[in-house]
Amino acid sequence: MRKLMTLIVAGLMLASCSSSVNSYRLAAGGQYALQAMTLSDEQVRSYVSQYIAKLDAQSTVLPESSPYTQRLRKLTAGLNSVDGVPLNFKVYQDNDANAFACADGSVRVYTKLMDLMTDDQVLGVIGHEIGHVALKHTKKQLRNSLLTSAALQGVAAQSTTAAILTDSQLGALGKTILNAQYSKKQETEADEYGYKFLKSCGKNPLAMADAFKKLKELGGSSSSSVTSAVSRLLSTHPDLDKRIANIQKMAAADGYKVK
């Protein structure tokens, strides 16, 4: 892959010599492509940590004394790290049914999702999102943003040290994290990783199937606010019936009682 990127950059540089109009754009494009492909895991975690710090400061993060936080601590007990990265959990006071996990180990759960789901269902959502992080799907999303977002282009220095992001770059990164859309293959991979992750941590992996069932149920809710929030989740999590069946098949093979 590294050899291929070298050839791409070389080709772009040669092309720039034959066109005075597009030479700068082509050369910059080759530089961004090389930076995106050489982005290290450490850089990704640093960039994401910068964004999460800003998001935490802008959001209403519930304190440890909150029943929501205490509930989250209880249901995530034993979920300490993934792929060597320590996990940290916080609850956002927000009327949106959402949750996300990031490459730096940050997991954020919104109060609305906790209101709508049982502990097992919330845990199932978390397990799935952690799967995307462990499988580096989120890193691929950032790479794509480095190539396509003008605000993010050029932030990846060709060293192990990450740059300090500007407000506009943090905003672009936030859109990448919160609006990430994955392929059907990636969704299935995250399901299977999340299943194994929850199982290895002593949790019931069938929680993921329960979470997807709840999403389907909420998608048909008569409440416009709930339907709007959940429809965004469903739009990025297609084929729920197949995915529920796949999780239940794995659970049955592992001896879990499938309802």
Query: 50-94, pLDDT tens digit by residue?
Result: 999 999 999 999 999 999 999 999 999 999 999 889 999 999 999
178-223 pLDDT, tens digit per residue, is 888 888 888 899 999 999 999 999 999 999 999 888 888 877 654 5
Whole-model pTM? 0.79
Work out the average pLDDT over 117-128: 92
Q: CA quadruple 110, 84, 248, 207: dihedral positive or negative?
A: negative
Q: How far apart are CA 30 and CA 10, in angstroms?
A: 8
Q: How far apart are CA 68 and CA 56, in angstroms?
A: 16
Residue extents of the structural domains in the chain: 1-38, 39-253
Residue 151 has pLDDT above 60, yes or no: yes
Catalytic residue among 129, 189, 192, 217: 129
How far is Cα of residue 47 from the mean position of the Cα atoms in its chain?
Answer: 14
- The mean of the pLDDT values for the chain is 80
Q: Which residue has the higher pLDDT, 214 or 231?
A: 214
- Strand-pair category, 88-92 with 106-110: parallel
Respond yes or no: is residue 64 known to be catalytic.
Answer: no
Token duo for residue 249:
């098949």
Share of the chain above pLDDT 70, in %: 76
Please give the pLDDT value at position 123.
93
